[in-house]
Amino acid sequence: MSDSGFSTDQIDTTIPHPARMYDYYLGGMDNYEVDREAAERALGHAPFLRPTAQGNRGFHHRAVRTVVQRGIRQIIDIGTGIPTSPNTHEVARDIAPDTRVAYVDNDPIVATYAGAKLTNSGNAGFVLADLREPEAIMDHATSRQLIDFDQPVALMLVAVLHFVRDDEGPLEIVRTLTDRLPKGSCLIFSHLTADFDRENALQGAAEIYKNSTAQLITRSREELMPYFDGFELLEPGFVRPPLWRPDGPVPEGDALLVHHGYAGVGVKGGA
């Protein structure tokens, strides 16, 4: 057994993991050589993956601030990935120190980092579970301890659904999760897209991800809009991440073209 409580066969550093590749795109240090090599190969096909990841992280922070400013005090962050500060609870607690956060990921290595960086400050917990089993996430003892499903919840699915294949039912997964949320809850959602990929560069990157622990699936805006069924989108809607309520200079022209994703926040039952 490792110090984290996981057996060595559960902690596999020989296969690239999207969470650690994402950490590398963000300039983090919590990744392995196998992740860096895979990420560099993916960047060789689609160099815009790095600014796309960075733009998505900025959206993540702004969206968390927005929902907490709206009064939400409990968050489920699915697809946590390697903790890269500031994390969800840090952003939320800058506004409301009593905010509770349940982090969810399926990677034991992420769980190990979570124990050191995410859940040691109180009112935060980690659920080792797979997005493909949504009921297990919502019914987990840690989720039940931290989250009151009679009160509004912010559900975060930030840059994670594009690792769920169509045959695994991503829309059904989201509906299973959101059906459990009361009125006034928020869905924070972002997803990679090939809508702006004129060179089909993401096809090459997707081939690299086939040798990682999860495939990379791009979807169009038309395919993604049903994920907000039952939710009213906050302004400015479902847009490229840097355009969602920017708190700094807004990229234009070529600087915007490198962001290959959509992001938005919806309120259940209407804003």
Task: Over range 243-250, report the average pLDDT.
Answer: 93
pLDDT score for 115: 62
158: pLDDT strictly greater than 90: yes
Task: Over range 20-43, report the average pLDDT.
Answer: 92
Average pLDDT of the residues of the chain: 90
The amino acid that residue 25 corresponds to is Y
Q: What percent of the chain is modeled with pLDDT above 90?
A: 73
Would you tell me how many other CB atoms lie within 10 Å of the CB of residue 154?
A: 27
Task: Over range 135-140, report the average pLDDT.
Answer: 96
Task: Over range 127-134, report the average pLDDT.
Answer: 93
pLDDT classification of 226: cutoffs 50, 70, 90: very high
The model's pLDDT over 16-26, given as tens digits with 9 standing for 90+, comes to 989 889 989 99
Q: Do strands 74-78 and 154-158 pair parallel, antiparallel, or not at all (unpaired)?
A: parallel
Q: What percent of the chain is modeled with pLDDT above 70?
A: 91
3 state DSSP class of 32: coil
116: pLDDT strictly greater than 90: no
The model's pLDDT over 181-210, given as tens digits with 9 standing for 90+, comes to 999 999 999 999 999 999 999 999 999 999
38: pLDDT strictly greater than 80: yes
Among 83-97, 184-198, 215-229, where is mean pLDDT lowest?
Answer: 83-97
3 state DSSP class of 192: strand
Task: Over range 64-83, report the average pLDDT.
Answer: 92
pLDDT classification of 118: cutoffs 50, 70, 90: low
2: pLDDT strictly greater than 80: no
212: pLDDT strictly greater than 80: yes
How is residue 100 written in tokens?
């509770």
32: pLDDT strictly greater than 80: yes
Among 28-37, 95-104, 132-141, 169-178, where is mean pLDDT lowest?
Answer: 28-37
Distance CA 240, CA 52 (A): 9
Do residues 164 and 131 touch, judged by C-beta distance below 8 A?
Answer: yes
Region at 237 (left for phi over 0; alpha for psi -120 to 50; beta for the rest): left
Do residues 143 and 127 touch, judged by C-beta distance below 8 A?
Answer: yes
pTM of the model: 0.92
Sign of CA dihedral 18, 261, 54, 102: negative
The amino acid that residue 233 corresponds to is L
List the beta bridge partners of residue 75: 101, 154
Task: Over range 7-18, report the average pLDDT.
Answer: 70
